[in-house]
Structure 1
């Protein structure tokens, strides 16, 4: 019998397909880049700093404009390489060969932009399954904000089911803006 989390994940995947068809993903990506700029200014992210991001799969919010803004500031953008073990190695987005940098290469990152399917007001995030980010986020500096990238319709009012190993996020970035969640950092 599927768990509550598995059922929710299946529902959120189906809903994401509907959302992605109804949205202008390119315009949303540009809006997210604009909404992120004040946080980048506040954190002083620029040359020499590193930030995690990811390469979007179909249906996900288009984070490429965000990555362009980061690169224009001189920040190094690290993207995950999912290993067979579901651990995440990291590579520099500017490296076309995606040379692996190590499981803890993201440890010094000043901002962690992560994918997800949904988030609730407590920062509980549901991803694609496998626990990749739940294993990887503890290796990063806890002072660095963790922000999930979502479509505006993917922020849930009701609390999500969680497991003890689930890593919470601090905020959510969508085309509607950047919102901080009720987390106890």
Structure 2
């Protein structure tokens, strides 16, 4: 029963990626659309800092297993949405960019080290870091687009990236040596360190 639920969840995220994320991104590039949905959809996909964190959340959820498989990604998406609303209405939140970069490093280390935290610690940690990602999405929304459509776009993009991490993690868990997950965490961490150097260099 648990295996069937896990497989259905993975399939749901996979469908979300292939049916919504990839075709929509291509449509945006081809048509040059300026609608809020496309802006929101593209935003997480266009920034390495966001992309790394969202894929890493999926990887770590597989590492944690059990209820965390769905609870951790949902915590990320849910709190990220709240953060976006805060950014839209102009609520103050300090250290947004450093916190986003720190989240990449933290998630990379968690996967690299195979860290398993209980749900009462892992979900709040993921949610706290997601707050800053959401806030950045909210503050960077173009002023001439619909907030609802923009929010739907970046929520679907986040769902797809989390799902990509879940799919990769599940594939690694089933078909690869255990050390492969450590390599995946290392790749996330290398990407995070690249983001750090770009930020320090003003790139």
Q: Does TM-score exceed 0.5, indicating one fold? A: no
State the TM bucket, normalised to the shorter chain: under 0.3
Q: Which has the higher helix share?
A: 2
TM-score scaled to structure 1, two decimals? 0.27
User: Which has the larger share of strand?
Assistant: 1
Higher relative contact order (CA 8 A, sep 6+): 2
TM-score (norm 2): 0.25
Structure showing greater radius of gyration is 2
